[in-house]
Amino acid sequence: MFYFALKWLHIMLAITAVGANISYSIWIQRATVDKQALPFTLRGIKLIDDRIANPAYVLILLTGIGMAVNADIPLNMPWIMLALILWFSMLLLGLFGYTPTLRKQIELAEQVGPDDDQYKAVASRGVRLGILLAAIVLVIIYLMVFQPALWG
C-alpha cells in the first residue's frame, strides 16, 4: 500500500512539474501581445518555477528513490541510473542556466523592454534552454514508463 501511495504522489508531482513547465511558453507567447504584461508574466513564471515546479522535481526524486527502495529495485538498474544522471543534469542546467537566464530576462523586460536586442538574445537563450530541459524531462519520463533494458 505504501508503494502505491508513493507512486500516486510521484505521478501527481510529475504532472504538476511538467505541466507548469509546459505552460511557460504559452504565458510568454500571450504576453508578447501586450508587452506591458511581459515583466509581470515573467515574474509569475519565476514564482511558479521556484515555488511549484522545482520543489515538485525534488520531491519526484525522493518519491522515486522511495519507491525503488520499497520495491527492492536496485538503483543501479541502467534505466534508473540514466534517469538519475539526466535528473542531476537537469538540476544543474536549471540552476546555472535557466534560472539566471529567466532572472536576466525579467530584468531586461523591465528596463529596456522586449523589443531591445539584448532582451531578444536573452529570451532566445531562455527558449533554447527550455527546449533542452523539456527534452531531458521527456527522456526521463520515457525511462520511467518503459524501463528499457539499456545495457548489461
Neighbours of 10 (CB within 10 A): 20
pTM value is 0.92
> Which ranges in the chain belong to alpha helices (H)?
2-31, 38-48, 54-70, 78-93, 99-111, 117-146
For residue 100, what pLDDT is reported?
98
For residue 32, what pLDDT is reported?
86
Q: What is the pLDDT along the chain (152 residues), one digit of tens a residue?
A: 999 999 999 999 999 999 999 999 999 999 988 889 999 999 999 999 999 999 999 999 999 999 999 999 999 999 999 999 999 999 999 999 999 999 999 999 999 999 999 999 999 999 999 999 999 999 999 999 999 998 76
